[in-house]
Structure 1
Amino acid sequence: MANHLIIPLCFFLFCLSTLAQNDIYIVHMDLTAMPKPLKTQHTWYLSTLASSLSDKSQLPTKLIYTYNHVINGFSASLSETELSALKSSPGFVSAIKDVSVKVDTTHSTKFLGLSSNSGAWALTNFGENVIVGVVDSGVWPESESFSDDGMGEIPSRWKGKCEVGTQFDASLCNKKLIGARFFNKGLVAHNSNLTISMNSTRDTGGHGTHTSSTAAGNFVGNASFFGYAPGVASGVAPKAHVAIYKALWDEGAHTSDIIAAIDQAIADGVDVLSLSLGLDGVPLYEDPIAVAAFAAVEKGIFVSTSAGNEGPFFGTLHNGTPWVLTVAAGTIDREFAASLVLGDGQSVNGLSLYLGKVNPDEIPVVFMDACASVNELSRLGEKIVVCQDKNDSLGDQIQNILAAKVAGGIFITNNTDIEFFIESLFPAIFMSVENGELIKDYIKRGINPKARMKFKETNLSIKPAPKTTSYTSRGPSESCPFVMKPDIMAPGSLILASWPENISVATIGNDQSLFSNFNVISGTSMACPHASGVAALLKAAHPEWSPAAIRSAIMTTSDITDNTGSPITDMGLTNQPRANPLAMGSGHINPNRALDPGLIYNASAEDYVNLLCALNFTEKNIQVITKTSSTNCSSPSLDLNYPSFIGYFNSNPTTSVKEFERRVTNVGEGSATYVAKVTEIKGFKVSVVPDKLVFRKKYETQRYKMVMEGPKVMEETVAFGYLSWEDDEGKHVVRSPIVATSFSPDIVSSSSKN
């Protein structure tokens, strides 16, 4: 009797073992390879799959789906042996292992916690009825990101239009892309003989298409970048309407055109303005973009701007304007990967964004240490060359391998900031030192070491993330050092978004250009529209909120820890254990928490004027910004009601105390009590009076004072901590960064306590 029980059990365990060895793959096929006698793709897929199976009777259980529209191919459950056999089938293109469904490809929306089932997307219907204006290089209207499938009606308040121009007519606009205008009179005035190659809103650079689709692009299925980052793409506010204002041109860009675009956007009725552009090192009154933004904010329009890409040095950011949101760039939890499969079957993983084809066969692999001699490398021929990064020689090594024209390069490096290297002109994989040792050991012990390179792999849930990128520009703000900048960090590293199909995304090999409907690029230009999209969601949820209220909600609800629960690190300072607020602002943006911030720091036009007065601007300087001929400077103050604090020490050795006054408004439902908590700042004592705020009703405002007492001489350049107001129900934490620095502000006003 026992034997009868054992046999079925053993058979069951064997079946489980066999099933465990199978994976589900999505198989892409080249439709042109389908034999003409076959009448349907389904028939071809069945016969192709059957030919790879040793047991044809399993065919009905092996095939999962056939696809006729989303891709040319099918999905199937395959063992490694069956997959290997399938790869030799005529018409086989690629097989991607099936993984848990992701909401997007611009994976940043998933990383931000946006979900169709709850939070900011669900509560705002994806930003419905909000209009996002983007001043940039134009738009590719045929992109699926600007399809109006599922879009609501155009708001009746909209006054914009779709301008006709070269290769652009009004029919290209719809319920998603509701406006398109272009501005180049300033550009032409600088060069009367200039011929504009595309005199319309059509994008000839790609930047505008990328930023606008990041902010508010519609859902696009089956998106990828040559197999990398496959899935469904969407903007942060996918149901918001988009209006494009082209002011950046291949032939040049001038502020006269940019502010004309902003001017028109205000007249047209946008709710949010996204500006991934800026000027460096000019006073506020000499910055036309800052001036134009002030007018927009006065009209209730939220303005989001990029911090710049001049990091990791302090004091390099632009758009340090008090009335806009200044956005720094961070990484996300996705990496683009490749692997080197060694001759002994060992697979070693690294990073790569190589887009071309590669020899699928095993070829000799050789270690060449620092790869310093192009002549030596050139004599190697068709080999995979392994290089060891020494003394930050990675850039030189890449150039040497490229010049030598070998089969491919493996670069062993401890450089953690290589995102601008990984999209290479030739097959290249970047390995950690640990994984590099595995490759070197294999080469040393092998008589004839060989390997093959595998590309187009995408890994998610990478830890730690986010990190502050090295290139994102740091504060303090040169134009207004007494308001801490940047304000917030948002995804900006290797972001996938829409791209004009006729503009090359990369060059490989012998100057071979590649084209795609999507592109992966990095910069604070990519971070800015993420914040613009979040602002659109908040505008949809709280249409009565001022731009300052929205900015406050974004800042005070941000995250200062990564997905491991540790403080966010800074790649620009060799992964410094804690990124400081002059790099990442208040923290990493969290749209779901921003919906319900509890308290907000509001600011009016009068508050900004008081700040301008305290900056010792002349009446004419202020008039440039405010458009008001008579300015009331009776209450000048550098202490703007802002959700962050920055104090300058050592500039006046006799003063080691800084005072700040703030007012906060309860936007929660009903009464609430908040208690102040301050994290320790080395060398400083921080006190808050009162340390408890009691609100009896919604929209009530309370005031408090914060005092920083520090040493007359700081030991470090920057010290920081946080002030958090926590409610008694444990629902809200309203956090503000506190920065103390030994930098000297360029502008000093004796009229302020700060």
Structure 2
Amino acid sequence: MKTSNTLLIFALCATLCLDRIAGFNKAYDDHERQTYIVYMGELPLDRKSVTNAHHNILSEAIGDEMVARRSKIYSYKRSFNAFAARLKPHEAKLLSEKEGVISVFPNKVLKLMTTRSWDFIGMPQNVKRNIGVESDMIVALLDTGIWPESPSFNDSGMGPPPRKWKGTCATGRNFTGCNNKLIGAQYFDLGGSVGPDASPVDTEGHGTHTASTAGGVAVEGASLYGIAKGTARGAVPSARIASYKVCWGNGCQDIDLLAAFDAAIADGVDVISVSIGGAGRSFSKDTMAIGAFHGLKKGILTVCSGGNGGPYPGTIQNVAPWIMTVAATTIDRKLVTSVKLGSGENITGISINTYVPKKILYPLTSGEEARNSSFPYGEASECEQGTLDRVKVKGKIVYCQGSGGDSVVPQLGAAGIIMSDEDLDDIAYALTRPGTYVSGEDGTRISKYINSTRSAQAVISKTKSTKMAAPTVASFSSRGPQNLCGNILKVRSIPHCKMPPCLFADSEIIQPDISAPGVNILAAYTKLTTLTGEEGDARLVKYNILSGTSMACPHVSGAAAYVKSFRPNWSPAAIKSAIMTTSKRLKITPIGAELASGSGQLNPKAAVNPGLIYDINLVSYISFLCKEGYQDKDIALLTGSRKYSCSSVPQAKGADGLNYPSIHLQVKEDDSDIAGVFYRTVTNVGTGSSTYKAKVTSPDGLSIKVTPNVLTFTRPNQKRSFKVTLEGKLPAIESWFLSGSLLWTDSKHKVRSPILVSSEIFDYD
């Protein structure tokens, strides 16, 4: 009896102690929590079940039903599907991985998000604007045409086109016409390949996407089936857009491209944006270089994509120094499409998957298991054409080694596809059916799971957005140096070049010039094609997510128009200089990164007030061409005039002979000695007097001397010249690059120029 009383007292004490500890833990637990919003997209048809669904998914993440009830703050269920709750960071992470959850983010005072790219590069929606001048800016897009009915081209509140506009609005099939936002639309099919159906309308989506990125108005709630939801907008939403269709189903012909340049320049545009590339040619035979040079003479800056031939060196395109050449970088938004296996294992993949699964799990097989025994050719494990048995595939998710099965598996009635890619990166692609790309390592895990059971199952979740470290140069983005095939006289063959006859130009210019967001960019799209454009895809969308230097180019075009709205009298070279010298260095900058990223990441706000600019006049470009080995006849072809000749222009000084905002010295292939002199002149575009001091960053083995190293200005528009001397030796290792920089700084401005020394020979293997 005595013992049982003692035990009872002990039990009561223990209960009281545990209650007190629980109370303490609850207080501590609540202190650790912060408010998050869990966004789940559109409302289901049965809205009554929303609250219970919120509670259930929250309980699963927290692991305690009572704590979950206490943690939940509110259910949003009238217009969209979401809830607010107090969560620990690891609970928020668990929720973000749950099926049906699009995003989980902390409760902060938020501003409307863009397609994310403009906010990411420091240009929020409320950025300072010179609206009166911006509304007179005209951005020309030479592309696949435009879809005028997109909300991004709404002209509500806009006045008539500026008086300088001399363009027209053509008619054509499926084209509804222009307005005060889209003030011009023309098409060029000089070869007559399209016939009577020719129209300025965009049937591809590419031109609409680039136009809205450069100058689209703000559209709230834009998304791709709820993916990447935010406010889609361009850099200059008050500016006007002129579309020139030069690309058709058979590509973009030189004759059409040049005709579009001709029209745009005469029409009075301010910036020309061209997301088109081609093989390198002599400038005198390059329609892009020729058209851009004519624009230059009229004060028009041409901005071009650098190409999608990366990560190989020598793949950069559109390299004329009067063109602004753009590389593509990532933003801090990653599009994740996860796979959940029947074993409970979760695998993170990359794709754009708009489909919400209708089942908890689907049967899972592999290409190897679904082999078509009557077809002895091809690799079934890679899901090659003809290798799979339709009966074994239908209704199942199929795992394929490699990335080529997306064109085969959906046609066989599969429920989805998982592909493995050894070089998986952060670029997401849309598929016609539920699908995702996983790493080679994760692909091996999936294969092992399939082989371990007779009833393998899996489900592919709808894509959601997550944060990632950025910016980095996109893997596909073309790299310098200029690798020109069949160019001018001063060339040499490159060993190991995989595209013979390949020749290496002597040009001492770093290209690309600048980097800008070009990965997973949400922008307007056409209704005349489907999301993927593939057979069997019926999804028509107002906004689509695309990647490429094509997407990076209009970011810079729009930024150039933004700068020009504050500096309408600046030359194209001045605008280009301002954008380059105020750019931000990328977080990840490997040796020789300048040939991938140029001067750095686009920073439009800073470019309006750069402090100093490197200006270049027309005669200086001619002098540069003469130094590069161009003959008078070549220059006449390029400029359209015979009044310029190498005998009548001043001889270019220095290693490159051009007042460029960056410096590049190429060392002879048989010489490790570094010796180069560069002459530069800067113009003060600040207000009042100022003194700039040179700050040099130099790697081991390279001496950078600036003379003078202090520049004093007493008035605006005053010019000062200096000399940069490079000396040293290339390192005796298999690294062909030495990277440094020159920074001119006063108390307000930082004017940075990258300096690169490279060998003429690169190992292409």
* TM norm structure 2: 0.78
In the alignment, which residue of structure 1 is the partner of 2:515? 489
Q: Counterpart amino acid of 1:133? A: A
Deviation, 1:555, is 0.8
The whole-number CA distance in structure 2 between the counterparts of 1:487 and 1:406 is: 45
In the alignment, which residue of structure 2 is the partner of 1:466? 472
1:372 aligns with 2:381: yes
Q: Counterpart amino acid of 1:109? A: W
Q: Counterpart amino acid of 1:600? A: I
Does the aligned pair in 2 maintain the 1:362–1:451 contact within 8 Å? yes
In the alignment, which residue of structure 1 is the partner of 2:143? 136
Relative distance call for 1:182 and 1:686 in structure 2 (3 A) is same
Q: Counterpart amino acid of 1:636? A: Q
Relative distance call for 1:416 and 1:735 in structure 2 (3 A) is farther
Does the aligned pair in 1 maintain the 2:144–2:202 contact within 8 Å? yes
Q: Counterpart amino acid of 1:502? A: L
1:176 aligns with 2:191: no
Give unmatched runs, 5+ long, in structure 2: 1-15, 57-68, 88-98, 369-378, 488-504
Does the aligned pair in 1 maintain the 2:326–2:515 contact within 8 Å? yes
Deviation, 1:595, is 1.9
Relative distance call for 1:552 and 1:244 in structure 2 (3 A) is same
1:686 aligns with 2:704: yes
The whole-number CA distance in structure 2 between the counterparts of 1:10 and 1:648 is: 68
Relative distance call for 1:94 and 1:79 in structure 2 (3 A) is farther
The whole-number CA distance in structure 2 between the counterparts of 1:698 and 1:268 is: 32
Deviation, 1:376, is 8.8
Bigger mean CA deviation after superposition, 353-362 or 330-339: 353-362
1:395 aligns with 2:403: yes
Does the aligned pair in 1 maintain the 2:315–2:481 contact within 8 Å? yes
In the alignment, which residue of structure 2 is the partner of 1:37? none
State the number of aligned residues.
Answer: 680
The whole-number CA distance in structure 2 between the counterparts of 1:366 and 1:17 is: 47
1:154 aligns with 2:161: yes
The whole-number CA distance in structure 2 between the counterparts of 1:137 and 1:53 is: 45
Partner secondary structure for residue 247 of structure 2: coil
Q: Counterpart amino acid of 1:226? A: Y
Partner secondary structure for residue 582 of structure 1: helix
In the alignment, which residue of structure 1 is the partner of 2:528? 502
In the alignment, which residue of structure 1 is the partner of 2:565? 540
1:238 aligns with 2:237: yes
For residues 194-213 of structure 1, the aligned pairs below 5 Å read: 195-197=195-197, 199-213=198-212
The whole-number CA distance in structure 2 between the counterparts of 1:598 and 1:18 is: 47
Q: Counterpart amino acid of 1:28? A: E
- Residue by residue over 1:692-715, the C-alpha shift from the partner in whole angstroms, topping out at 9 and shown as x without a partner, is 222222221111111122438975
Deviation, 1:54, is 9.2
Relative distance call for 1:507 and 1:19 in structure 2 (3 A) is farther
The whole-number CA distance in structure 1 between the counterparts of 2:413 and 2:420 is: 19
Deviation, 1:587, is 1.2
In the alignment, which residue of structure 1 is the partner of 2:602? 589
In the alignment, which residue of structure 2 is the partner of 1:265? 264
Relative distance call for 1:144 and 1:117 in structure 2 (3 A) is closer
Q: Counterpart amino acid of 1:140? A: W
Does the aligned pair in 1 maintain the 2:334–2:426 contact within 8 Å? no
In the alignment, which residue of structure 1 is the partner of 2:739? 721
The whole-number CA distance in structure 2 between the counterparts of 1:211 and 1:557 is: 24
Deviation, 1:547, is 0.8
Partner secondary structure for residue 703 of structure 1: strand
The whole-number CA distance in structure 2 between the counterparts of 1:418 and 1:54 is: 33
Does the aligned pair in 1 maintain the 2:121–2:603 contact within 8 Å? yes
The whole-number CA distance in structure 2 between the counterparts of 1:584 and 1:320 is: 14
In the alignment, which residue of structure 1 is the partner of 2:436? 429
Partner secondary structure for residue 461 of structure 2: strand
Q: Counterpart amino acid of 1:257? A: D
Does the aligned pair in 1 maintain the 2:337–2:351 contact within 8 Å? yes
In the alignment, which residue of structure 1 is the partner of 2:6? none
Deviation, 1:273, is 0.7
Partner secondary structure for residue 519 of structure 2: coil
The whole-number CA distance in structure 2 between the counterparts of 1:196 and 1:122 is: 43
The whole-number CA distance in structure 1 between the counterparts of 2:31 and 2:456 is: 33
- Residue by residue over 1:592-647, the C-alpha shift from the partner in whole angstroms, topping out at 9 and shown as x without a partner, is 22222121100001111111222332222212223332225342224100011121
Bigger mean CA deviation after superposition, 353-362 or 445-454: 445-454
The whole-number CA distance in structure 1 between the counterparts of 2:299 and 2:382 is: 61
The whole-number CA distance in structure 1 between the counterparts of 2:149 and 2:367 is: 48
Does the aligned pair in 2 maintain the 1:271–1:302 contact within 8 Å? yes
Does the aligned pair in 2 maintain the 1:362–1:452 contact within 8 Å? yes
Deviation, 1:165, is 3.0
Does the aligned pair in 2 maintain the 1:676–1:723 contact within 8 Å? no
1:559 aligns with 2:584: yes
Relative distance call for 1:160 and 1:582 in structure 2 (3 A) is same
In the alignment, which residue of structure 1 is the partner of 2:333? 334
For residues 191-340 of structure 1, the aligned pairs below 5 Å read: 195-197=195-197, 199-340=198-339
The whole-number CA distance in structure 2 between the counterparts of 1:234 and 1:254 is: 30
- Residue by residue over 1:454-486, the C-alpha shift from the partner in whole angstroms, topping out at 9 and shown as x without a partner, is 122111x31142334334243226366233221
Does the aligned pair in 2 maintain the 1:722–1:735 contact within 8 Å? no
* TM norm structure 1: 0.80
**Which residue, 637, 656, 668 being the options, matches 1:650?**
668
Relative distance call for 1:452 and 1:13 in structure 2 (3 A) is farther
Deviation, 1:226, is 2.4
In the alignment, which residue of structure 2 is the partner of 1:114? 123
In the alignment, which residue of structure 1 is the partner of 2:651? 636
Q: Counterpart amino acid of 1:663? A: T
- Residue by residue over 1:188-229, the C-alpha shift from the partner in whole angstroms, topping out at 9 and shown as x without a partner, is 2xx6xx6242x2211122221111111111111221112321
Deviation, 1:241, is 1.0
Does the aligned pair in 2 maintain the 1:498–1:517 contact within 8 Å? yes
Relative distance call for 1:196 and 1:615 in structure 2 (3 A) is farther
Relative distance call for 1:328 and 1:61 in structure 2 (3 A) is closer
Relative distance call for 1:18 and 1:549 in structure 2 (3 A) is closer
Q: Counterpart amino acid of 2:257? A: I
Does the aligned pair in 2 maintain the 1:187–1:253 contact within 8 Å? no
**Which residue, 601, 619, 623 being the options, matches 2:632?**
619
Does the aligned pair in 2 maintain the 1:272–1:535 contact within 8 Å? yes
Relative distance call for 1:137 and 1:312 in structure 2 (3 A) is same
Relative distance call for 1:377 and 1:546 in structure 2 (3 A) is same
Give unmatched runs, 5+ long, in structure 1: 34-43, 68-72, 81-92, 388-392, 569-576, 746-754
Relative distance call for 1:410 and 1:395 in structure 2 (3 A) is closer
In the alignment, which residue of structure 2 is the partner of 1:699? 717
The whole-number CA distance in structure 1 between the counterparts of 2:157 and 2:677 is: 52
The whole-number CA distance in structure 2 between the counterparts of 1:440 and 1:397 is: 15
The whole-number CA distance in structure 2 between the counterparts of 1:107 and 1:277 is: 24
Relative distance call for 1:411 and 1:309 in structure 2 (3 A) is closer
Q: Counterpart amino acid of 1:733? A: K
1:660 aligns with 2:678: yes
Deviation, 1:124, is 6.0
The whole-number CA distance in structure 1 between the counterparts of 2:54 and 2:674 is: 78
The whole-number CA distance in structure 2 between the counterparts of 1:114 and 1:22 is: 26
- Residue by residue over 1:323-381, the C-alpha shift from the partner in whole angstroms, topping out at 9 and shown as x without a partner, is 11011111221111122335565644332212345442224557899983767997587
Q: Counterpart amino acid of 1:148? A: D
The whole-number CA distance in structure 2 between the counterparts of 1:200 and 1:400 is: 33
For residues 733-744 of structure 1, the aligned pairs below 5 Å read: 733-743=750-760
The whole-number CA distance in structure 2 between the counterparts of 1:320 and 1:54 is: 57
The whole-number CA distance in structure 2 between the counterparts of 1:723 and 1:48 is: 60
Relative distance call for 1:553 and 1:229 in structure 2 (3 A) is same
Partner secondary structure for residue 424 of structure 1: coil
